[in-house]
Structure 1
Amino acid sequence: MYRIFQNSRFLTIGNWLKLVLAVQLVIVGLLIAADVSMRWEFAGTSPKLSIESPVSPGDQVRKYQPVLPRVETPDTDLDHTIDLAADQPTRLVFSIHQSSDLNSVLHMHGEIAQGDANRFSAYLETLASPPEVIAVNSTGGIVDEALQIGRIIREQEFNTQLSALEICLSACPYILAGGIERRVSREGIVGLHQHYYETPGFMPVFLAVENIQRGQGRTMAHLIEMGIDPGVMIHSLTTPPNDIYVLVEDELIQSQMATQIVE
């Protein structure tokens, strides 16, 4: 009994505060370690193939490359030519191109940054006539911005497309999903992975998890609203952020991420 009393005297208010602080530091350390492991691959891990390497069913996970060099290429099957910059712009760049059948194509190129949804709406208002098609080429970016852009595309009843040698990764497929008709070239790349949601380092683990789950719920609701099979999210949820899961033709069609595959 005397020993218990002595122990209880040791657990003063000051010592309790120190104990709580120590526990919080451990939690912060775990969150930082998890964040680092998500952002970088450590030495010694098996190297992933480049995203430009051919994929086949069962061999679809590639290294995620936020900056992917591209070359100028004509896309005769989708009837327009786009002058692609060497690197992805740090935010979306909008430009109008005229196709051979005189249809206008709005090309959306670059990372998806904060405020791009409002910029997209403002750009549409400057056009004398609305485009027939929205073409995408993006490594991804901010998920909520991509969801808003996808909804704008659906409200305006635009079609979307992904041309040959172009990419739509990470958050970009939520923009592609907004099209009434969604045409994807066999030479295009559509890829999914886990999204990174910014959370303060001092946020308790259960709140961080709640924030992530809320974000996942928004993306799943968006896909359902756009007529996409939410089962495609399995590939997103099971692929780490530093990798990318490339959808093959059957998956694009079966999930309705693409309504048509073109050459």
Structure 2
Amino acid sequence: MKPSSLALRLKTAIVRADDGLLMRSAFFGLLAAAGAFLFTDLREMSLAQAPLPGHDPMTTDAPVLPPALTDGTPQAPPVDPDSSPEILRQPMRFELLTGGVLKAEGSIDLGAAERFAEEIAARGEYVQAVSLNSPGGSVNDALAMSKLIREKGINTKVASKALCASSCPLVFAGGVAREAEQDAILGVHQVFNAGQDRPSPEQAMSGAQSTTARIARHLEEMGIGNGLWINALETPPDRLYYLTPEEMAEFKLVTAPVATAKQAD
């Protein structure tokens, strides 16, 4: 049976289930199955080419904005982002805007969470919202940033034609109020902890399962629906599952409806 077929069947079971315990059991069953699928992929990757010490995947020539996940020919993202790939590839930097908005732009590099914490500490209570424009990066840093945002009672937003992909939605999920403007680009896909040394296949599988469980638990604590990360688990790392405004609301990723062209008129 193909991985995507099994994931689809489990996803259907979760949607149809009315009992909360059954939903939770089925969801974590999917996480376990996803770990097995990742084991095969990571085994091939680790045997083919291991990351060099200190390697940052966001500095490679991989596309900043991967094509959408489709059954056939890959499709472009719903809209083109305003920022260039060069800007998005740079290590995350912070800029204080008017109205208590702290703009966080660039890849979530190792150490981004520490710099973010320093910014929040320096600005005191002036920061009311964090505006994200990032292709993702370090999962550990993204989770740390998200937890600090919720702890400080800060809101999050993704502006029109700004990008929040890969691990960036984990940061976005930390906001008390979460806003995605019309034409904001939010997308998810499989993530794993690459590490600095060549992992054995068993270590790679263990790391993938541990990372997946940490993400699932964090999203649950933030009040985000399980369906968000199910779509991530079904999407290869070289693709993105672009979220529609309806899905953002369904998964409780946003706390207010995303404006559509019809609503904006």
Q: TM-score, normalised by structure 1?
A: 0.69
Residue type of the partner of 1:115?
A: G
Give 1:214's match in structure 2, choosing from 197, 204, 210. 210
Q: Residues 125, 238 of structure 1: CA spacing in aligned structure 2 closer, same or farther, 3 A cutoff? A: same
Q: Residues 217, 187 of structure 1: CA spacing in aligned structure 2 closer, same or farther, 3 A cutoff? A: same
Deviation, 1:87, is 2.4
Percent identity for Structure 1 against Structure 2: 27
Deviation, 1:202, is 4.8
- Do the aligned residues in 1 keep the contact of 2:245 with 2:258 (CA within 8 Å)? no
Hey, what's the Cα distance between the residues in 2 that align with 1:262 and 1:229? Answer: 17
- Do the aligned residues in 2 keep the contact of 1:239 with 1:245 (CA within 8 Å)? yes
- 1:108 is paired with a residue whose SS is strand
Q: Deviations over 1:23-60 (max 9, x none)?
A: xxxx9767334989xx799xxxx65222245xxxxxxx
Hey, what's the Cα distance between the residues in 2 that align with 1:174 and 1:29? Answer: 27
**1:226 has 2:222 as partner:** yes
Hey, what's the Cα distance between the residues in 2 that align with 1:207 and 1:152? Answer: 29
Structure exhibiting the larger radius of gyration computed from Cα positions:
1
- Once the two structures are overlaid, the 10-residue window that deviates more, 208-217 or 118-127, is 118-127
Structure 2 partner of 1:80: none
Q: Residues 232, 30 of structure 1: CA spacing in aligned structure 2 closer, same or farther, 3 A cutoff? A: closer
Q: Deviations over 1:73-99 (max 9, x none)?
A: xxxxxxxxxxx896214211111111x
**1:94 has 2:120 as partner:** no
Structure 2 partner of 1:245: 241
**1:48 has 2:63 as partner:** no
**1:133 has 2:129 as partner:** yes
- 1:136 is paired with a residue whose SS is strand
- 1:241 is paired with a residue whose SS is coil
Q: Deviations over 1:132-176 (max 9, x none)?
A: 111101000001100000000000000111110111000000000
The structure where helix makes up a greater share of residues is 2
Deviation, 1:231, is 2.5
- Do the aligned residues in 2 keep the contact of 1:70 with 1:87 (CA within 8 Å)? no
Hey, what's the Cα distance between the residues in 1 that align with 2:43 and 2:226? Answer: 33
Q: TM-score, normalised by structure 2?
A: 0.68
Mapping for residues 134-213 of structure 1, pairs under 5 Å = 134-199=130-195, 202-213=198-209
Residue type of the partner of 1:88?
A: L
- 2:88 is paired with a residue whose SS is coil
Give 1:70's match in structure 2, choosing from 68, 82, 92. 82
Q: Residues 142, 200 of structure 1: CA spacing in aligned structure 2 closer, same or farther, 3 A cutoff? A: closer
Q: How many residue pairs end up in the alignment?
A: 202
Deviation, 1:195, is 0.7
Q: Residues 187, 32 of structure 1: CA spacing in aligned structure 2 closer, same or farther, 3 A cutoff? A: same
Q: What are the ranges of 5 or more consecutive residues in structure 2 without an aligned counterpart?
A: 1-41, 52-61, 67-71, 260-265
Q: Residues 93, 199 of structure 1: CA spacing in aligned structure 2 closer, same or farther, 3 A cutoff? A: closer
- Do the aligned residues in 1 keep the contact of 2:227 with 2:251 (CA within 8 Å)? yes
